[in-house]
Amino acid sequence: MEDKQGPPGEPRPHRWQMVIDLDRCTGCEACVVACHAENNIRLSGPREAAEGRAINWIRIERYWEGEYPDVKARFMPVLCQHCADAPCEPVCPVYASYHTPEGLNAQVYNRCIGVRYCGNNCPYTARQFNWFDPQWDPPLEQQLNPDVTVRQNGIMEKCTFCVQRIRQGKEQAEREGRPVRDGDITPACVQSCPTTALVFGDGNDPNSRVAIMAKSGRGFHLLESLGTHPAITYLKRLDE
Amino acid sequence: MNNKPAGWEEMPAINRDLLAPLAPGGRGYVLLLTLLAAVVSAGAGAWVYQIETGIGQTNLHPPIFWSAYIASFVYWIGVSHSGTFISGVLRLTKAEWRRPITRVAELMTIISVVIATLFVFYHLGRSWRWYYLIPYPNQREIWPDFRSPLMWDATAVFTYATASTIYLYLPLIPDFALVRDRIGGWRKPLYSLLSLGWRGSQREWAALNTAIRIITPLIVMVMISVHSIVGWDFGMSLVPGWHTSIIAPYFVVGAVHSGLGMVVIGLYLVRRIYRLDTYIRLEHFDKLGKLMLVMTLTLAYLYFADQLTVWYGAIPDHLSVMHAVMSGPYAVPQWTMITLIYVLPLITLTLPAFRAWPAGMLMVGLCINVGMYIERMLILTPPLAHPRLTYNWSDYFPSWVELTIMAGSLSLAVLLYALAIKFVPIISIWEEKEGRLHEQESAPRRTGRTISA
């Protein structure tokens, strides 16, 4: 399962991975807000939210366990799992959804024509569609991130693992003539998590936090039986 | 022995009867065209509005990224199978009774392929970028991805549209020539062009028959592959309820089911409006009824096989879809659909007296088509509405923009058909004559045998 990312036989300098510790997640949704600000995600408003069209690249799924009054709320942040065998990729007729050599599922906005098969075939419902042209309530349009494309009506988008930050981190390291260090690159959601439930790093570096934590006995992958080989490992202590 | 073929005295009457529909239509016809054009413009307006503002004008939302448009696409591709199945298979099996039916059905094929293709464009998020689907050389060296079932689909539908246009056109050449010789005015040069200088020589007839013999088996194979591939648009995905190996044959049979229903509707109307009772006879309704019965049973068998497997296997992801459909929020459309496409045809078409009642057959045809439209919607929506992560469960009903576009497209189909009837002899004249000759030739032989025995 480990070595399935990227084209076979080629050395992969990085394999970006994330660990999400469900035992630490409080469901505060700071990651959701940070992601919106970082990635120029359009504001949907209450009406579109009610229609189920609010675009979130990361969402907190809330599940209730038990019967009243003995009820527990369970939180699970779900974002694009950056699968090694991603079901969204081969179904795209125009290569808008493709696999980068570093194991990211990239979405080429300019290429996307909006057939939306990728959205259907993602078992995690991680992909989001631009049903209308983007809009921001003033003054939020003043704080758009210049490093991220604003997406047009009619195309798919989804979590990129903050590819712009990955790129900056690698360029910075190159300028300083050193390899990328663990912790150099943090996606917005990871940076904003108050309980450090999210950890990001290079799975190719055996000493990175993410590589060590992914080996934890509490680890599992979401819908593992589908064989999508996600780059995200969830951690959860079993209650019983 | 006289050198005129037997039955020749019938020919002027056949020409007169079958060319009559080409005459300019009356007030009713113009009124119908106006009405249809009005609905078509409403649909076109809705589409422009959707392009202008966004696909958000539909009621689609995650996780339901496909629904009414794709269901309509599948439905119309299904209807398009009527022509090819009926005329192709019946030509192959040399069924004599096919003669007055083939043209009615083949015209439906072309028109519904056009309508189905339109639905792909309604569906695209950026329809103005549709040409990315074409493998054309470009400086960025980006090609479409032929791993995607949607590319198989685009290829298959394009092949089907081309092939069935040729298939419609070939047997039309002698008829166009017939019209050319009998028509004046601005239409004459058009028919001259279309009849490719047909003179009716022995060599031309031999060439035409060879061409038809070659294309007929090919088109039947293309037809089966096209709807299999439409099924694989769904079957190749991971979506519970779509991911099943039976989907290709199920789609093919379902397509023929709705297609046959549509042909019966068309036959009834053409027969009624142009008083072609002597050409489209009760025998034809009877035989089509039997074919529809076979399709009902085959489709029911495939459906049962699929549902039984899901139910017995009881994989939770798949079962949740099944429960939603059978007893959940989709139960009403589901059981309406079962009644319309399985129960009603089974009850009625098994009765020989019913099959000889054209108005009844029309109603069954309508039931099957309404039922199959619902069935396509049910194949599309409930599986998408019940993804594996239950947090994302949802539901869907088409918006007014979607409904307007669907109604506009239906009207466009009828409009194109109504226009085509004024342009193309709706019953293949030379094939009808050929049939009469065959009858005349075989009749004395049969009598002869009876006498000698």
Looking at residue B321, its pLDDT comes to 95
Residue B343 lies in a domain: yes
Q: Which domain holds residue B323?
A: 22-134+149-438
Question: Is A155 in CB contact (< 8 Å) with chain B?
Answer: yes
Contact A131 B389 (CB under 8 A): no
**Tell me, what's the pLDDT at B344?**
96
Distance CA B177, CA B193 (A): 9
* Higher pLDDT, residue A100 or B436: A100
Share of chain B above pLDDT 70, in %: 96
Contact B145 A93 (CB under 8 A): yes
Nearest-by-CA chain B residue for A77: B391
**Residue B190 belongs to a domain:** yes
The total domain count for chain B is 1
Q: How confident is the model at residue A11 (pLDDT cuts 50, 70, 90)?
A: low
Question: Is the Cβ of B391 closer than 8 Å to some Cβ of chain A?
Answer: yes
Interface mutation vs chain A, best among B49, B53, B61, B67, most A CBs within 10 Å:
B61
Chain B's closest residue to A78, CA to CA, is B389
**Cα B12 from Cα B20, distance rounded (Å):** 12
Given a cut of 80, whether residue B19 has pLDDT beyond it is yes
A91 and B236 within 8 Å at the Cβ level: the answer is yes
- pTM, to two decimals: 0.93
B386/A contact by beta carbon, under 8 A: no
ipTM of the complex: 0.90
| Mean of pLDDT values over A152-164 | 95
CA B233 – CA B151 distance, rounded (Å):
9
pLDDT 10s digits, A213-222: 999 999 999 9
List, in sequence order, the alpha helices (H) in B314-357. Answer: 316-326, 331-338, 344-349, 352-355
Tokens 């005295």 sit on residue = B9
Would you state the pLDDT for residue B7?
66
Smallest Cα distance from B405 to chain A, Å:
18
What residue ranges define each of the domains in chain A, with the CATH number in brackets?
Answer: 2-235 (3.30.70.20)
Q: Give the pLDDT mean for B20-27.
A: 85
Higher pLDDT, A58 or B88: A58
Average pLDDT, stretch B365-372? 96
Residue B213: Cβ-neighbour burial (10 angstroms; 0-12, 13-18, 19+): exposed
A201 at interface of B, judged by CB pairs closer than 8 A = no
The residue-averaged pLDDT of B173-188 equals: 88
Cβ(A98)–Cβ(A89) below 8 Å: yes
pLDDT tens figures, B275-292: 888 888 899 999 999 999
In a domain, B141, yes or no: no
SS3 B81: helix
Q: Chains A, B: CB contacts under 8 A, how many? A: 135
Paired strand residues for A200: A18
Contact with chain B for residue A18, Cβ under 8 A: no
What rounded mean pLDDT belongs to chain A? 91
- Give B83-133 pLDDT, tens digit per residue: 777 888 888 888 888 888 888 889 999 999 999 999 999 999 999 999 999
Q: What is the mean pLDDT of chain B?
A: 90
Residue B16 lies in a domain: no
DSSP bridge pairs for B375? none
Domain-embedded: residue B272: yes
- Say whether residue B401 is in contact with chain A using an 8 A CB cutoff: no
* Percentage, residues of chain A above pLDDT 90: 80
Tokens of B167: 């298939």
In a domain, B452, yes or no: no
| Number of neighbouring beta carbons within 10 Å of residue A73 | 11
Q: Let me know if residue B7 belongs to a domain.
A: no
State the nearest Cα–Cα gap between B319 and chain A, in angstroms. 16
Q: Which residues from chain A sit within 8 angstroms of residue B130, using beta carbons?
A: 113
Residue in chain B closest to A63 (alpha carbons) equals B391
Q: Judge: B125–A130 Cβ closer than 8 Å, yes or no.
A: yes
Provide the pLDDT for residue A3: 45
Cβ atoms A72, A65 nearer than 8 A: yes
Per-residue confidence band for A8, with pLDDT thresholds at 50, 70 and 90: low
| Residue carrying the six token digits 């017995």 | B312
Under a CB-based contact definition with an 8 Å cutoff, are residues B73 and B383 in contact?
A: no
Interface membership of B60 toward A (CB under 8 Å)? yes
pLDDT digits (tens, 9 = 90+) for B380-438: 999 999 999 999 999 999 999 999 999 999 999 999 999 999 999 988 888 888 888 88
Question: Residue B284: inside a domain, yes or no?
Answer: yes
